[in-house]
Chains A and B, each alone.
Chain A
Amino acid sequence: GAVVSQHPSWVICKSGTSVKIECRSLDFQATTMFWYRQFPKQSLMLMATSNEGSKATYEQGVEKDKFLINHASLTLSTLTVTSAHPEDSSFYICSARRSDGQGLRGYTFGSGTRLTVV
């Protein structure tokens, strides 16, 4: 089945530093990648949608200069949290939509990255 590999699975960083999270689709092409954030006991909140070769579309309230998204190829999308602060500590998950035209069942989630900023 379709697999999305997300790395790292967890990371601890110092306040003010930047962290890059990668999501790779291993056996399919992902024209669209969604990035979510989930705080404890809350739902997944969509942060941005990235399409291969174009700029990401950010949801209202998400700072595009803080959360940099790059989707340079059909199999790789990255999220960089710049100048991280403790309030950015959260569970970040990517989701890839397959480009083979499958219906809305064609989403595959990465395993998530738990970010802790100290």
Chain B
Amino acid sequence: RKEVEQDPGPFNVPEGATVAFNCTYSNSASQSFFWYRQDCRKEPKLLMSVYSSGNEDGRFTAQLNRASQYISLLIRDSKLSDSATYLCVASLGDSSYKLIFGSGTRLLVRP
């Protein structure tokens, strides 16, 4: 079983749509969680951190449910520029500082 699992998609949505991505993690000792965005043939870039209390940044909202070991990302009012692969990331928060990446969910926003 993968440590971080995501639906690979692709999610094909029209501009202006609201889309939600889900992610589950298997290691209950994971402490910190993030969503990264990766464009084709580029390095991943941090989108936002994820907290149990929820985290909102403009059109993006991330949520963590530790009991269910479940993470979500909601994108409202999708833009063409949102088309990318969204990576769910977990970290144990130990001295290794390792980041464990999910395989990513691909989003295609069409005009």
Interface residues of A, Cβ cutoff 8 Å to B: 32, 34, 36, 41-46, 49, 57, 91, 93, 95, 97, 103-105, 107, 109-112, 114
Which B residues touch A34, using CB under 8 A?
A: 98-99
Q: Is the C-beta of B46 less than 8 angstroms from some C-beta in chain A? A: yes
Q: Which residue of A is nearest B88, CB measured?
A: A43
- Interface pair B91/A43, CB less than 8 Å apart: no
How long is the Cα–Cα vector from A44 to B26 in the complex, in angstroms? Answer: 17
CB–CB A112/B41 < 8 A: yes
B44 touches A104 (CB 8 A): no
User: A93 contacts which of B43, B97, B104 (Cβ < 8 Å)?
Assistant: B43
Compute how far the CA of A42 lies from the CA of B32 in the bound complex, rounded to whole angstroms.
22
Pair B43/A111 contact, Cβ less than 8 Å: yes
* A103 CA / B34 CA spacing, docked (Å): 12
B97: A residues at CB distance < 8 A: 32, 49, 97, 104
Complex: chain A residue closest to B4, CB-CB: A43
Residues of A contacting B93 in the complex (Cβ-Cβ under 8 angstroms):
104
Interface size of B as a range: 20 to 34
A57 to B8, CA, bound (A): 30
Inter-chain CA distance A64–B12, complex, in Å, is 41
Contact partner, B46, options A93, A105, A110, A111, Cβ 8 Å: A105
Tell me, rounded to whole Å, the shortest Cβ–Cβ distance linking B73 to chain A.
16
Min CB–CB distance B47 → chain A (angstroms): 12
B102–A43 CB distance below 8 A: yes
The 8 A CB mask of B29-51 against A (1 = contact, 0 = none) is 00010100000011111100100
Q: Which residues of B contact A36 (CB under 8 A)?
A: 101
> In the complex the two chains form, is B101's CB within 8 Å of A44's CB?
yes
Q: Inside 8 A of A91's CB, which chain B residues have their CB?
A: 41
Residue of chain B at shortest CB distance from A93: B43
Q: Is the CB of B103 within 8 A of A107?
A: no
Q: How far is the CA of A41 from the CA of B93 in the complex (A)?
A: 27
A-B residue pairs in contact (CB < 8 Å), sample of 28: A32-B97, A34-B99, A42-B103, A43-B102, A43-B103, A43-B104, A44-B44, A44-B101, A45-B101, A46-B99, A49-B97, A49-B98, A57-B96, A91-B41, A93-B44, A95-B99, A104-B32, A104-B49, A104-B93, A104-B99, A105-B46, A107-B99, A109-B43, A109-B44, A109-B45, A110-B43, A112-B41, A114-B41
